[in-house]
Amino acid sequence: MKALKAVIFDMDGVLTETSLQHYIAWKLLAKDLGFELSEEVNEKVKGISRLESLDIVLRAGNMVDKFSEAEKLELADKKNLIYQCLIKEFTKKNLSEGALELLTSLRNNNIKIALASVSKNAQFLLEAMEIGNYIDAIADPSEVKHGKPAPDIFLMAAKMLGVEPKNCIGIEDAFAGVEAIKSAGMQPVGIGSKEILYNCELVFSSLKEVNIDMLREA
C-alpha cells in the first residue's frame, strides 16, 4: 500500500498474547456451571464480543437458553473478573515479540496508529505494557452497533484518526477480525496460522516478521 497512512491493531493475540488467560477464564466459568470447555470452542470466541462469546460457551454446555439476559450479563462480568485477575501482573514483558519495534517504526515514519479491540481491558493492557503513548486513537467497542465481523470498530478507528479506510491496514489474529477489516475497505494482515486465517492473503506467524516496508507493499 503505497499510500499507507494508518495501521489499526487488534489487541489480544496481536500486540499481546492473552488467549490463554481468556481460555482459562472461560474454562473456569464453564466448570462453575458444570461442564468442561474444549480448546476448539476457545478458537470460536476469538475476536468477538464478550456476550457473543458467552453464547458460544453456553451453547457448548447446552445451557444457552437457561439464563435471562440479565443473568448473562452477570456471567460475562464474572468471566471478566477472572480474566482481570489473570492479567493484573502484565508488564511490558508481555508485549508480543516484534510489537515494540513495529510501533516505533510506524511512529518514526509518521504512520498513525489506532486500536480496534473488542476487549474492555484494552486501556489497562496498554498502560501495563507501557505503549499507550504510541496509540493515537482507541475505538471503544461499547460505542459501535455491531461487533466483528462487522466493520464498525475499524471504521470508527479510521474516523478517529482522520484517515480514509483505503489508506489503512488492519492487523488481526482472528477470522472474524479479518472479515471486519475487509468489510471496512482496508487491507488485512493476519497474525497466526494460515489454516485459521484462510480469509487473509498476507499472514505472518508473529509481528516480528512484519516491518513497515512489507506493509507499504501489501
All three cell numbers of 130: 507501557
Q: Which of 66, 125, 63, 78 is nearest to 99 (CA)?
A: 125
Residue 72 dihedral angles phi and psi, to the nearest 5°: -65, -40
Coarse DSSP helix, strand, coil percentages of the chain, rounded to the nearest 5 percent: 50, 10, 40
- Residue whose grid cell is 465481523: 149
Nearest CA-CA partner of 160 in 123, 112, 119: 112
Q: What is the CA radius of gyration of the chain?
A: 17
How many Cα atoms within 13 Å fall on the side-chain side of residue 202?
20
Q: Which residues are catalytic?
A: 10, 12
